[in-house]
Chains A and B, each alone.
Chain A
């Protein structure tokens, strides 16, 4: 085991894959800047594989697609998730669709990295969590890792995947340290993690709602309520089996997600459980998600936006009702 931060895991994943495969290249505005996980890469891999990048999201995303269709595996780092919108046409109309439009003649193996700066007082144009918008686009795989080990293993798997993968990183987790397995650590896309086992309430948590849910679970455990925390890790493909199995065990579901409520990942997960796991449910499904309003600048207001341990605990407690009711299997 090694100990590293989420940010170091991102860097390690890119380094390992660039050393392994000369087709991997990195497109990143200011990727050589000292704050960037790709700082120093140009010294090892040269200016062709780590090109200087103009502020030109649409242009370099299109270039990544052309490169991907002709044998390369670009990693495109938008540095801030909102900047993807500038390249939305290339991502949605081309990266996601070209393989299908062209009858499978070419794949588009790109990893689009997008750090999400929410809860960081950067206001609405730097704070989006856009994964639900892209879950609506067939052809894109979507990953949201929450631990250093998963950041490493999922980024390496994403780089090796032949489909376009959008890799969302909650920036608040970049500094979190954790143990990471030695060797060529790969985490498969489409496999959820049970972050904590418990018998009473399933909490499916996304992004930094995972550590929030774990805190809530620790707190409620002292009161005799056991949360099972499921981290889907990838939203497309989504490990429906793991979610349904957990709900089958607990009979109760809270979904905690820092993205907006309407048509969000939580809405999709709720629909799946309502369709395929209805008979398991002993209580209505609860969502602890961001309200449908833009992230405000003022920290005093932004604090109201996202799932916290307290909100998750309150939602779970409401589902279990009185301790007496909890005791009934």
Chain B
């Protein structure tokens, strides 16, 4: 990454962190986020490093823990926060909520609450690019838990036999809810599974945004130039419980594990590196303040946005409404 990209990476990581802290705060205070909220704090480098390697017109597909993905792809924050709050100004008009953010304006093709199901959809987006004659690539985000479901294997196989420009990015945070990956995976690593599908499998330090960028950038380049798909396994960590339950219980994890990973916080690591590289502290503070300000504005926008009206219940279901049946019937 060049210096401009460095600062953009920091800005986007901080947007995600402040956005999620704000969401947790709203949940905690009962101020209007209903339902399940899955926080990705700790995983920001894997998300931002991946998205910065993409062009604006490239595609991403997310999963249930995916507030960070459209943010990293450049989506405006206000409609995302309004969506979490179920408001009519939400990016999905309040129909999707936390687990189904999508912003097609920045190539975010949406998120699914069904583990692994987005993986073949990303394959289809890359296939579509080929048929339409563009060189867009598609990137599928998923967690370690998804590496055991059929759609992961079917998606990788399809992308490989069709030679498509897909980057599969696994954010391996070691736990599927509270189930340890080591207890559920019969291979040495997730990346090792790439060999079965005749594609490169790369393990990268998911706390190092520059390392993730480099790995995904190479995979994107490969995909865009017709070289086929790549599987990138970013080793990362989630600080929070599976979802926000009101209180947190991480007793399913070994003692000291959380502290170990917190000592490798992706935002702090990168800030320290930029300082060591000679970036002025003022400049970093300005980036941090602008990210915090954007999130404050997003929260204010969401909170003052109206609730959806009852007649909006049926909106967005059909592209062509059902009530178009002509009166006469004959054959």
Contacts and interface: CB of A to CB of B under 8 A. Distances in A.
Contacts of B324: 188, 190, 237
B95 A100 contact: yes
A94 B158 CA distance: 19
B46 interface: no
Given A101-B95, A105-B92, A139-B317, A190 B124 contact: no
A195 B91 CA distance: 47
Contacts of B129: 70
Interface stretch (A57-65, A217-225, A260-268, A301-309): A57-65
A66 B322 contact: no
B327 to A, nearest CB: 7
Interface string A66-85: 11111110000000000000
Contact of B109 (A69, A149, A162): A69
B117 to A, nearest CB: 6
A65 B95 contact: no
Interface string A100-127: 1111111101000000000000000000
B329 A194 contact: yes
A239 interface: yes
A285 interface: no
Nearest to B118: A62
Contacts of B119: 62
Interface string A217-248: 00000000000001100001101111000000
Given A58-B154, A59-B157, A67-B124, 19 more contacts: A51-B162, A54-B158, A56-B154, A62-B119, A63-B123, A65-B124, A66-B121, A66-B125, A66-B127, A69-B110, A69-B124, A70-B124, A89-B117, A101-B100, A106-B109, A107-B319, A138-B317, A163-B318, A193-B330
Nearest to A187: B331
28 contacts: A25-B131, A49-B131, A51-B127, A56-B157, A59-B155, A62-B124, A66-B122, A66-B127, A69-B124, A70-B128, A72-B131, A90-B120, A94-B117, A100-B316, A102-B100, A103-B96, A103-B102, A105-B104, A106-B109, A139-B318, A162-B319, A191-B325, A191-B326, A194-B331, A230-B329, A236-B322, A237-B322, A239-B325
A131 to B, nearest CB: 16
Nearest to B105: A105
A102 B155 contact: no
Contacts of B154: 54, 56, 58-60, 62
B112 interface: yes
A32 to B, nearest CB: 15
Contacts of A188: 324-326
A25 B168 CA distance: 24
B186 interface: no
B130 interface: yes
Nearest to B125: A66
B275 interface: no
Contact of B151 (A59, A70, A101, A161): A59
A48 interface: yes
A147 interface: yes
B141 interface: no
Interface string B147-184: 00011001101100110000000000000000000000
Interface of B: 59, 61, 90-96, 100, 102-104, 109-110, 112, 114, 117-132, 138, 150-151, 154-155, 157-158, 161-162, 315-320, 322-327, 329-331
B102 A105 contact: yes
A135 interface: no
Contacts of A279: none
Nearest to B164: A63
Given A54-B158, A56-B158, A59-B157, A237 B120 contact: no
A237 B161 CA distance: 38
Interface of A: 22-23, 25, 48-49, 51-52, 54, 56, 58-72, 89-90, 93-94, 98-107, 109, 138-139, 141, 147, 149-150, 161-163, 188, 190-195, 230-231, 236-237, 239-242
A22 B130 CA distance: 12
Contact of A70 (B109, B112, B155, B319): B109
Contacts of B104: 69, 102, 105-106
B67 to A, nearest CB: 15
Nearest to B124: A66
Contacts of A239: 325, 329
A93 B110 CA distance: 13
A63 B326 contact: no
A38 to B, nearest CB: 16
Contacts of B124: 62-70
Which of B123, B128, B330 counts the most A-chain CB atoms under 10 A from its CB? B128
Nearest to A193: B331
B320 A93 contact: no
B127 A67 contact: yes
A98 B110 contact: yes
Contacts of B114: 89, 93-94
A193 B102 CA distance: 40
A59 B158 contact: yes
A193 B129 CA distance: 40
Contacts of A236: 322
A104 B325 contact: no
Given A59-B120, A106-B109, A101 B325 contact: no
A60 B128 CA distance: 13
A58 B152 CA distance: 10
What are the nearest 3 A-B pairs in CB distance? A66-B124, A59-B154, A62-B120
